[in-house]
Structure 1
């Protein structure tokens, strides 16, 4: 029944295939698409209603939203190791008075050395910190941030890409859309939006490829990164956070991922990324930069500029800071000249210098302006906690799990136990049933056959359960013997009819 349900849903959506078809790629290339005039890639639009574009395709609406935050502090309990080394404060402060804003259509970067707090700030803004104490004012579109509603209009791409290996790229994105798009989105609009997302992230040509196991088969690391972005983008968020989307990638793969990230920002969404020592091209793909030093303090928050001119100009204006060499990576130079050793060498406090700069004052004015709701707008509100009701969630999860198990060889080998057990039962029935002397009626015959089938399957699955729960085969043998012994003691015996006595 379960497999029949999966097959039925797959027939309803015939795009589910395990490998890519060259013919299908050719067919897909002929579809009408709404593409960017510059790069030929499809574009998603921010609209206030479902309006068909010039090619007749439908685009799901989303509301562009700003996220502004003022004087954000974050404290955690002091680790025991630090107490042993003489740090006696009860709380450890990881973020110090961070103020800033991220706006729609602007690709923003959070940078800093290891331990600067860039991922911590990203998690605090995204609402992923469940421990510690958060202070400060965080607003979405000018209204105070409420995590339950904010989670519905935001996405978060983790540094580690976690996907089901036996699901295709297209199915992974479709599964996310099924669970996370609002119920008023019909299946046709949802499928169209899934196609647009795949094209925007440039995954449409491998949509029928299995995700596979990292480092073994399936997608490359770069393709997995882009799939992570697509799975979040298909929820139609207004704000997307990305934790080091280019980590672990070579220069070519990182450039492909950043092109996809840039495509997302070009749709009018607010995109924020943490980044660590990017190449020149990747660094200059960002529009805004927030630079943090070790300890969670802000030392720059402003535009990157053409060829990083704004960043270079700001830090080169500080006395005794060495000038950047020709063709040198601006991000590497920036991290070098803002290091703790350089700060001690030039005798400057970069945090104080930024606080006293005109850039900081302009940023404060921007944050105050964005902290006030735009007239005519309203706060976020959703009638339910989750986009889909329980039954739709159940169907989506069952569809995905059935496909995963159906394509898992180890599971299919286990499923082969069923016909093997049935063959055993038939042989047993033909030999034992007449010898026992049971009544030759169809109802009793098949009822006894059903009982024996369940009994043998129970023993098979009991053995599998014991193997999965025990650390080694020796312990499994011991536990199996105990279970079988107890079951034999209480199972009773089959008594032939001539030996039965009437009391």
Structure 2
């Protein structure tokens, strides 16, 4: 066993020495040709300007991306949420009290409130049901951006697109959706760069893009601007605004936002400590409705008017039911293909990790070999020692 480890270590060392090297962070793995020409010489035409413009024809070509998702309206009516009291298991605590509201496609709904008001709890309750239709049409962008550091941004979006979009969608359309969201989130310049070393702003865009690549109808964002300065937060929310304009329903918790960011939202659900609603409704142009509400409207009357919109309190019976035949979007062969490819790329791009594993394997082989070097395998004790050696070798 030690000889096998040594042989493979030598082969891997030669491969790392002559084929690969420790790559810098955030480097580009694109194979596109790079143009060396930085400047282009331009000359003013010497022909008659009026004659030239008469025959000038300007053509525009527009390509519309096909939507592979169904726009969904989310509505809440008299939502209550209880948990067991940790101090008294026989009693329960009400974290959310009679929450009402709705979010329509093409809009961004903000969940705001003080600490302990129940913003994240409300979003977890909405996004958490085990219903298959809800799981397949909703995406959740967590506050912590956890990604495979050895993959590129394009590979991360492609991985999500192929494993989460329906198997009936062609591969070409899945690749097109990846390119569409890379462009939508302004990630073209870094699409083929390794994720390792990306900025916080870029990681936020990547997290949103991974959910978009799955062609989801509703996207939940948990503190998308946390840890960002005012400029980066504005850039992130501009990207979220573009996502909403594509026909999706966006719901996000947010705090410490600037006026420019606040103007990007369409509606607001404001909670106070204890899970009670303070305000819900459309913000209006430049938040005029929101300001006007707090300047002279009564709380109960305003909430009643905001929730009494036709089609929300009484949904139409003609709305089609979202039904998914399978639990997984694609078959097991496709899942295995992309998962195995992802791990191969990860190991190939992190040679230091592979080298450390080889060194540990050799050291463990030497230790185990020295411990059982004098074992008499013809006796009962020696046989037990041999079994323990095989077990320890397989364990490590």
Q: Secondary structure at the match of 1:69?
A: strand
Question: CA 1:305–1:25 in 2, change beyond 3 Å: closer, same or farther?
Answer: farther
How far 1:484 moved relative to its partner?
A: 4.7
Quick one: which of 214, 227, 232 aligns to 2:206? 227
1:378-393 equivalences under 5 Å are 378-393=320-335
CA–CA separation in structure 2 for the residues paired with 1:288 and 1:461: 61
Alignment of 1:489-500 (within 5 A): 489=375
Is the contact between residue 25 and residue 205 of structure 1 (CA under 8 Å) also seen in structure 2? no
Aligned pair partner of 1:404 in 346, 358, 363: 346
Q: How far does residue 54 in structure 1 lie from its aligned partner after superposition? A: 5.9
1:73/1:367 Cα in 2 relative to 1: closer, same or farther (>3 Å)? farther
Instruction: Please provide the CA RMSD for this pair.
Output: 3.0
Are residues 485 and 71 of structure 1, via their aligned partners in 2, closer, same or farther at CA, if it must alter by over 3 Å? same
The aligned runs of 1:215-364 (5 Å cut-off) are: 218-317=197-296, 354=299, 356-357=300-301, 359-364=302-307
Cα shift at 1:56 = 5.2
Deviations, residues 272-300 of structure 1 (Å, cap 9, x unaligned): 11111211111111010110000100010
Equivalence for 2:51: none
Give the whole-Å Cα distance in 1 for the aligned partners of 2:235 and 2:201: 8
Residues 279/386 of structure 1: CA separation in 2 closer, same or farther (3 Å cut): same
With normalisation by structure 1, the TM-score equals: 0.61
- State the match for 1:191 in structure 2: 175
Q: Match for residue 463 of structure 1?
A: 364
The CA distance in 1 between the partners of 2:122 and 2:100, in whole Å, is: 11
The partner residue of 2:132 within 148, 153, 158 is 148
- Which one scores higher on RCO, CA 8 angstroms, separation ≥ 6? 2
Contact 2:132–2:324 under 8 Å retained in 1: no
CA shift, 1:232, in A, is 0.3
> In 2, Cα distance between the equivalents of 1:378 and 1:386?
21
1:19 aligns with 2:28: yes
Q: How many equivalent pairs are there?
A: 332
- Tell me if the contact between 1:246 and 1:257 (Cα under 8 Å) persists in the aligned partners: yes
Q: Is the 8 A contact 1:75 1:92 kept in 2?
A: yes
What TM-score do the two structures reach when normalised by structure 2?
A: 0.76
State the secondary structure of the residue aligned to 1:366.
coil
Matched ranges for 1:405-444 at <5 A: 405-414=347-356
2:154 is aligned to 170
Q: How far apart are 1:255 and its partner, in Å?
A: 0.7
Name the counterpart of 1:94: 95
The ranges of structure 1 where at least 4 consecutive aligned residues each deviate by more than 3 angstroms after the TM superposition are: 20-27, 53-58, 367-371, 414-417
Is the 8 Å Cα contact of residues 242 and 274 (structure 1) preserved in structure 2?
yes
Q: Distance in 1 between matches of 2:303 and 2:163?
A: 41
1:485 aligns with 2:386: no
Q: Quick check: 2:80–2:94 contact (8 Å CA) kept in 1? A: yes
Conservation of the 8 A alpha-carbon contact between 2:150 and 2:194:
yes
Give, in whole Å, the separation in 2 of the partners of 1:72 and 1:162: 31
> Compared with structure 1, are the counterparts of its residues 488 and 257 closer, same or farther at alpha carbon in structure 2 (3 Å cutoff)?
farther
The CA deviation at 1:115 is: 0.5
Residue aligned with 2:186, SS: coil
Partner residue, 2:121:
120
Q: Looking at CA atoms only, which structure, 1 or 2, has the larger radius of gyration? A: 1
User: Matches of 2:204 and 2:240 in 1, distance apart?
Assistant: 10
Q: Residue 110 of structure 1 corresponds to which residue in structure 2? A: 111
Change (3 A) 1:26 1:163: farther
In structure 1, distance between residues paired with 2:260 and 2:377 = 73
1:21-60 to 2 correspondences below 5 Å: 55=62, 58-60=65-67
- Contact 1:18–1:168 (Cα < 8 Å) also in 2: no
Q: 1:414 to 1:242 in 2, by over 3 A?
A: same
Instruction: Show the counterpart of 1:365.
Output: 308
How far residue 58 of structure 1 moved from its aligned partner, in angstroms, is 4.8
Distance 1:484 1:70, change over 3 A: farther
C-alpha contact 1:19 1:210 (8 A) present in aligned 2: yes
